[in-house]
Amino acid sequence: MRNALFLAATLALAGCAAYDGHNLVPGGSTESELRATMGAPALTFDQGGGGKRLVYPRGPLGLETYMADIGPDGRVVSIGNALRDETFYRVQAGMTKDEILRLIGPPGETMAFPRSQTHAWDYRYMDTWGYRAIFSVTFNAQDVVVSKFTQRIERDKGQR
């Protein structure tokens, strides 16, 4: 009985931690509340005019990277997962590595292709239809996007 109570208390406390920031209120929550909830960001970008974007990737093989935009007043403007089909549709040839970092965040994996002098960044995510997938963006030697593609990862055989 004592173990069951301890487990229930532990799970209740874990439920208070907001891995995705769902308890933050755009327009109401402050940057300090965001940092207290989600921790230190992996990247911070100046958005101009006093605003900034904080980037929270959730593990090298995680399926989420949260982008939190902070207004000049220090309040959360928006927060959401960037690893989504809708975000990847916005990636276009000619974009720079910095633009991709601002849009999607850091990759889970990278790979170099020395012969073609290109390199790729891969992002694991859950696609719109509930399949695990990998989005890959390829850069040339000048760090400019030359191509992109998405590949679904096979679901478990028992889930058909």
pLDDT digits (tens, 9 = 90+) for 23-52: 898 999 999 999 999 999 999 999 999 999
C-alpha of 95 from chain center: 18
Confidence class for position 5, pLDDT limits 50, 70, 90: very low
Confidence class for position 18, pLDDT limits 50, 70, 90: low
Percent of the chain at pLDDT exceeding 90: 74
Q: In CATH, what is the architecture of 84-154?
A: 2-Layer Sandwich (3.30)
Looking at residue 16, what is its pLDDT? 42
Distance of CA 137 to CAs 9, 80, 104, Å?
A: 43, 21, 11
Looking at residue 119, what is its pLDDT? 97
CATH 3.30.1450.10 placement within the chain: 84-154
Looking at residue 23, what is its pLDDT? 86
Query: In the CATH hierarchy, which fold is given to the domain comprising 19-81?
Result: Beta-lactamase Inhibitory Protein; Chain:B, domain 1 (3.30.1450)
Confidence class for position 155, pLDDT limits 50, 70, 90: low
- The pTM of this model reads 0.80
pLDDT digits (tens, 9 = 90+) for 82-134: 999 999 999 999 999 999 999 999 999 999 999 999 999 999 999 999 999 99
- Range 125-144 average pLDDT: 95
Half-sphere exposure of 115 (CA within 13 A, CB side): 0
